[in-house]
Amino acid sequence: MSKRELAATVLKNSGALALFESLRSKPGILIVNHHRVGDAASSRFDRDVFSASAEAFESQLRYFKRYFPIVAGDELEELVSGKTPLKRTYVAVTFDDGYINDYRVSFPILKANGCAGTFFLVPQYVGTSTIPWWDEIAYLVRNSPRTQLVFETPVPAAIRLDGNREDAIRNVLRHYKRPDNTDGERLLQELRDQAGCTLPETGRRFITWEEAREMKAAGMSIGSHTQTHGILGQMPPENQAWELTESRKNIEAGIGTPIRSLAYPVGIRGAFDEKTEDIAQSLGYTMCFSFYGGINTPDHMQPMNLLRMATNRDFLLFRAETVLLSRFGKLPY
Ligand SMILES: [Zn+2]
């Protein structure tokens, strides 16, 4: 049993979970992040970017609604800036990448529950059937007839394919996300050259500007996820600035309203750094989001590095983590 499962079991068995749920929440903003909501098992691409089924997502949303105000846009910005004092836990629900699932699955659920979400778009993907690097890696590694893949970029590595194929996908993705990988295209080419299979034809995979405008008009918030989804921490400062400026220009043209928020692609430490935060701030972004867990409290409120967490697929663990973060400000692991 893992530490997090143990924590949840203890909370449940002692009746503590229900007790803690009845307590007043502490001041903070709990920001959760999704990529795709829907059926992971039927995807031919990266299944790890599916964070919840449609049903699980709706259950999570209803649970949040019972205990916390759900915020986005100006309301969220005023809490982050301190203009509105934080007196309890607020929840923000965010989505990266702009997959078509956002429009077809998540948006109707948010709307039906009267909640606003924040969607971070990549202009280069909007309205297209693009297969981004993580989806391409997942498809090629899953379907390769080879028993091993060998890479030279950014450092030599051999990844075996004769065990669990989903583990192999994660290993190649981890190799791609290394902070010293400054040439993702070269690494992808090494994979294509040896995979022994090719990408399939697909229909449109990302939302259109028209869909984004409809979501915005219905109260959803839109932000930038950079122009090309490049990993900012792997780029020189001038390229980072271009990603932030170009994406904002294109999203503002596409939806017709100012953009002030940004989600760092990948979002883990190393995928962006203090230099990236300085660039974002100097360009006028007011809220930038990372993705390595945690809750934003008055003592730890960094507008250029707002912490986001993934929601647990297990509903009991999701409840336990939400209770611990909102009533105690941290997780015991
Ligand atoms: Zn992303």
For residue 184 the two structure tokens come to: 């993702």
Q: How many angstroms separate the alpha carbon of residue 32 from the centre of ligand 1?
A: 14
CA of 285 to the centre of ligand 1 (A): 18
Q: Is the dihedral of CA 140, 142, 144, 146 positive or negative?
A: positive
- Do 53 and 145 share a structural domain? no
One domain, residues 113 and 155:
no
- The burial of 51, by beta-carbon neighbours within 10 Å (0-12 exposed, 13-18 middle, 19 or more buried), is given as buried
**CA of residue 226 to ligand 1 center, whole Å:** 9
116 and 249 assigned to the same domain: yes
Same domain, 60 and 150: no
- Say how many Å lie between the CA of residue 289 and the centre of ligand 1: 11
**Structure tokens of 234?**
């792997």
Q: From ligand 1's centre to the CA of 244, what distance in Å?
A: 14
Q: Does residue 118 sit in the same domain as residue 255?
A: yes
Q: How far is the centre of ligand 1, averaged over its atoms, from the C-alpha of 85 (Å)?
A: 31
Provide the residue-wise pLDDT of the chain in tens; the chain has 333 residues: 677 777 777 777 778 888 999 999 999 999 999 999 999 999 999 999 999 999 999 999 999 999 999 999 999 999 999 999 999 999 999 999 999 999 999 999 999 999 999 999 999 999 999 999 999 999 999 999 999 999 999 999 999 999 999 999 999 999 998 888 889 999 999 999 999 999 999 999 999 999 999 999 999 999 999 999 999 998 999 999 999 999 999 999 999 999 999 999 999 998 999 999 999 999 999 999 999 999 999 999 999 999 999 998 889 889 999 999 999 988 877
Under 8 Å between Cβ of 264 and 276: yes
Categorise residue 208: left if φ over 0, alpha if ψ from -120 to 50, beta otherwise.
Answer: beta
Distance CA 79, CA 297 (A): 10
Q: Is the dihedral of CA 252, 214, 72, 222 positive or negative?
A: negative
Compute, in angstroms, the gap from residue 160 CA to the centroid of ligand 1: 26
**Same domain membership, residue 174 and residue 125:** no
Residue 189's domain comprises 133-195
pLDDT, residue 179, reads 82
The model carries a pTM of 0.93
Count of structural domains, the chain: 2
Q: How far is the CA of 95 from the centre of ligand 1 (A)?
A: 9
Residues 97 and 175 in one domain: no
Q: Distance, CA 96 to ligand 1 centroid (Å)?
A: 5
Query: Residue 333 falls within a domain, yes or no?
Result: no
**Residue-level pLDDT at 313:** 87
Residue type, 284: G
In this structure, are 61 and 165 located in the same domain?
Answer: no
